[in-house]
A and B are shown apart, each in its own frame.
Chain A
Amino acid sequence: MKRLLVGTLLAASLMASPAFAGSHGGITACLITKTDTNPFFVKMREGATAKAEELGITLKSFAGKVDGDHETQVAAIETCIADGASGILLTASDTSSIVSAVTQAREAGLLVIALDTPLEPINSADATFATDNFLAGELIGKWAAATLGDAAADAKIAMLDLAVSQPTVGVLRDQGFLQGFGIELGDPNKWGDETDPRIVGHDVTAGNEEGGRRAMENLLAKDPLINVVYTINEPAASGAYEALKAIGRENDVLIVSVDGGCPGVQNVKEGVIGATSQQYPLLMASLGIEAIKRWADDGTKPEPTPGKQFFDTGVALVTDMPVDGVDSIDTTEGTNLCWG
């Protein structure tokens, strides 16, 4: 029965996987992303596909239907084990629940690398290739504080986060921002426990325009004089901007964000967003494929960046209004490096 089930799953996933490359023999690698529609993951797949072709690796791509689709990801891991893949690159939707499936894969001899999103605990995967999200937040926090100058002392800050479940990526960016801005943190593993009166409030956006607008409106109803807005990503920032525009305050509020997608960088260029921290999904994926190749060839595992629990794939602050003390690149360079 179980075999039948696995077989069915396998067949179903193969049919559902447009990136399936046909040729057998040699090294096989799997890429499992949260969705296959978000430009971030599309770029990740591009990077993985190009590198796999270059190295002669068969790449199979899987994705959840929506962000948060945990079961499809588990089924994908099982499929990869059954398929005899050498390694899995995974951006997990549910970072702690996926661990049992990941352990199963590692016990079967697969190298599992978490891309972009660390698992909980982080050492559940063989390695993690990710953006330093705390640093990404810290950069925009420092930039915002330096841009405001003395006014930073009585700023009114809106925090537009990802979700009430407080996924790690959202917490790291949020807390990084606050630290960079010079606000004392409570427990750095969660947001919302800070006591600094400059924080008007935290609200959640689901990381899209609609949620960004709603969250901004809610916080503006709390305090219409907000003048600094932290956003989890650029779509949320663009929603927040619409809410501010609706009350005519879009020009006296500083919006900062994280991601570095092409529409986001364009928004920085046009002054909608003040500054954004850019991350590099393509690099994560191509490095991941190289690591699987090495693992298959001689069994070496990738090492984390010294001083960190993961391999840092880099982050850069994109802004056209650089400040002293914070390194940044301008939007022209940001556009060359942007994804999606």
Chain B
Amino acid sequence: MSKTKISDPAATAPESVVDFSEENPSVLTRVQHALHETPALVPLIVLVLSIVVFGVLLGSKFFSPFALTLILQQVAIVGIVGSAQSLVIITAGIDLSVGAIMVLSSVVMGQAAFRYGIPVELAVVIGLTVGSICGYINGWLVAVMKLPPFIVTLGMWQIVLATNFLYSANETIRSQDIARDAALLQFFGRKVQIGGAVFTFGVIFLVLLVLVLAYVLRHTAWGRHVYAVGDDPEAAELSGVNVKGVLISVYTLAGLICAFAGWALIGRIGSVSPTSGQLANIESITAVVIGGISLFGGRGSILGMFFGALIVGVFSLGLRLLGADAQWTFLLIGVLIIAAVALDQWIRRVAV
């Protein structure tokens, strides 16, 4: 099991180097070690570099509080879904159904309030419950039925998405109707403005969620168990970890977080739209991978995912402002993904 401390590499690297090396280790080995100790470091460096580069190229147009907080708003949904994805991937699983669960939850919230006239507070609770149930089913199939997570969530993705379309008849609930009759659904769209900087409640929720999860994963028994299960489920079982329980709890929590993402989605686009979020599963996996979380489980930090999502956001907006064809964004993101995984493989070879 690896530590996921986020700190200055200079502070941790020397200690760990001293342990095992009499002859001076090369700089490369030191770097390798530092990265092994703090997986969020690489994405953080890439993020800072990309902000600096686009800042130089675009000047104040990019380097303004407005544009920088706009990036936060644009990655809020992917970031929230990415938090759920991170949890699952740390257990060496994968969740392809995150986007579908998000959209279904938002549709259920909307339909509960508008089709059935349920009070909006209750409608939100129903939506969150539906998300959690979807997650629970995933978790049960993975943990108890021992089915591969990829297959389970591939199936769940189709099932949930089809349910979403059948149930909603793909009809949008208009923003103006929601604002009038069920304003709570747009809660995450409200905003705090500080100068030119705009923080929506969705962004604030994302930041809080990442911080809370980072703390829980590092400092609670449950969090350590999540890493242990991802690293080596048999060893975890032998040391008394309830592997099934941990897996089910992770997938259920992921479902709940996706439902919150669905709620935040209503805030962002104003309306309830069943066609939204089609690519959220891929985008969240992208953020996770660029964020340095290992797809083999047991390694990586949720902060890395957050930086990964921001990197994608910075590239997208930066390249658009430069007037580049949108395809360049996808191309560069592709390069980043492969580079990130290659780096992960290299770091894994470190002797601990």
User: Residues of A at under 8 Å CB distance from B?
Assistant: 37-39, 42, 66, 164, 201, 203-204, 208-210, 212-214, 217-218, 221-222, 235, 238-239, 241-242, 245-247, 263, 266-267, 270, 272, 340
Cβ-defined contact, A267 with B174, below 8 A: yes
Contacts of A39 in B (CB 8 A): 169-171
Roughly how many angstroms separate A37 CA and B327 CA in the complex, as a whole number?
28
12 A-B contacts, Cβ less than 8 Å apart? Answer: A37-B165, A203-B326, A204-B326, A209-B273, A210-B269, A210-B276, A221-B66, A221-B70, A221-B317, A221-B320, A222-B321, A235-B275
Cβ-defined contact, A242 with B175, below 8 A: yes
Q: Contacts A38-B170, A42-B169, A266-B174: A217 and B275 contacting too (C-beta < 8 A)?
A: no
Roughly how many angstroms separate A235 CA and B275 CA in the complex, as a whole number?
10
Roughly how many angstroms separate A270 CA and B177 CA in the complex, as a whole number?
11
- Which one, B73, B273, B323, contacts A208 given CB within 8 A? B273
Greatest chain A CB density within 10 A among B169, B170, B317 is at: B170
Which B residues from 296 to 352 make CB contacts under 8 A with A?
317, 320-321, 323, 325-327
Which B residues from 249 to 279 make CB contacts under 8 A with A?
265, 268-271, 273-278
Q: State how many angstroms separate the Cβ of B59 from the closest Cβ of chain A.
A: 13
- Which one, B66, B268, B323, contacts A201 given CB within 8 A? B323
Q: Does B67 contact A (CB under 8 A)?
A: yes
Cβ-defined contact, A164 with B170, below 8 A: no
Cβ-defined contact, A210 with B317, below 8 A: no
Which B residues from 159 to 173 make CB contacts under 8 A with A?
165, 169-172
Q: Contacts A208-B275, A210-B276, A217-B73: A222 and B61 contacting too (C-beta < 8 A)?
A: yes
Contacts of B327 in A (CB 8 A): 164
Cβ-defined contact, A37 with B274, below 8 A: yes
Cβ-defined contact, B321 with A213, below 8 A: no
Roughly how many angstroms separate A335 CA and B102 CA in the complex, as a whole number?
31
Q: Does B226 contact A (CB under 8 A)?
A: no
Contacts of A267 in B (CB 8 A): 174, 176
- Which one, A37, A38, A222, A241, contacts B175 given CB within 8 A? A241
Cβ-defined contact, B191 with A246, below 8 A: yes
Roughly how many angstroms separate A246 CA and B165 CA in the complex, as a whole number?
29
Q: Contacts A221-B66, A221-B321: A246 and B198 contacting too (C-beta < 8 A)?
A: yes
User: Residues of B at under 8 Å CB distance from A?
Assistant: 61-62, 66-67, 70, 73-74, 165, 169-172, 174-176, 189, 191, 198, 200, 265, 268-271, 273-278, 317, 320-321, 323, 325-327
Contacts of A340 in B (CB 8 A): 171
Contacts of A201 in B (CB 8 A): 323
Cβ-defined contact, B317 with A218, below 8 A: yes
Contacts of B73 in A (CB 8 A): 217
- Which one, A212, A246, A270, contacts B176 given CB within 8 A? A270
Q: State how many angstroms separate the Cβ of B175 from the closest Cβ of chain A.
A: 6
Cβ-defined contact, A218 with B174, below 8 A: no
Contacts of A37 in B (CB 8 A): 165, 169-170, 274-275
Roughly how many angstroms separate A266 CA and B271 CA in the complex, as a whole number?
14
What residue in chain A is nearest B191 (Cβ atoms)? A246
Q: State how many angstroms separate the Cβ of A297 from the closest Cβ of chain B.
A: 35
Q: Contacts A209-B271, A221-B61, A238-B271: A263 and B326 contacting too (C-beta < 8 A)?
A: no
Contacts of A245 in B (CB 8 A): 270
- Which one, A209, A214, A272, contacts B74 given CB within 8 A? A214
Roughly how many angstroms separate A222 CA and B322 CA in the complex, as a whole number?
9
Cβ-defined contact, B174 with A242, below 8 A: no
Cβ-defined contact, B269 with A218, below 8 A: no
Cβ-defined contact, A209 with B270, below 8 A: yes
**Given pairs A208-B276, A213-B270, A235-B172, 17 additional interface contacts (CB within 8 A):** A38-B170, A38-B275, A39-B169, A201-B323, A209-B273, A210-B265, A210-B276, A218-B317, A221-B66, A222-B320, A238-B270, A242-B175, A242-B268, A242-B270, A245-B270, A246-B198, A246-B200
Q: State how many angstroms separate the Cβ of A79 from the closest Cβ of chain B.
A: 21
- Which one, B165, B176, B198, B273, contacts A210 given CB within 8 A? B273
Q: State how many angstroms separate the Cβ of A261 from the closest Cβ of chain B.
A: 9
Roughly how many angstroms separate A269 CA and B170 CA in the complex, as a whole number?
22
Q: State how many angstroms separate the Cβ of A296 from the closest Cβ of chain B.
A: 32
Roughly how many angstroms separate A57 CA and B276 CA in the complex, as a whole number?
36
Cβ-defined contact, B325 with A218, below 8 A: no
Roughly how many angstroms separate A340 CA and B273 CA in the complex, as a whole number?
13
Q: State how many angstroms separate the Cβ of A177 from the closest Cβ of chain B.
A: 20
What residue in chain A is nearest B73 (Cβ atoms)? A217
Roughly how many angstroms separate A201 CA and B317 CA in the complex, as a whole number?
13
What residue in chain A is nearest B327 (Cβ atoms)? A164
Q: State how many angstroms separate the Cβ of B333 from the closest Cβ of chain A.
A: 14
Roughly how many angstroms separate A218 CA and B318 CA in the complex, as a whole number?
9
Cβ-defined contact, B172 with A263, below 8 A: yes
Contacts of B326 in A (CB 8 A): 164, 203-204
Contacts of A214 in B (CB 8 A): 74
Roughly how many angstroms separate A39 CA and B278 CA in the complex, as a whole number?
17
Contacts of A272 in B (CB 8 A): 175-176
Roughly how many angstroms separate A37 CA and B164 CA in the complex, as a whole number?
10
Roughly how many angstroms separate A208 CA and B272 CA in the complex, as a whole number?
11
Q: Contacts A42-B170, A214-B74, A241-B175: A203 and B269 contacting too (C-beta < 8 A)?
A: no
What residue in chain B is nearest A213 (Cβ atoms)? B269
What residue in chain A is nearest B168 (Cβ atoms)? A37
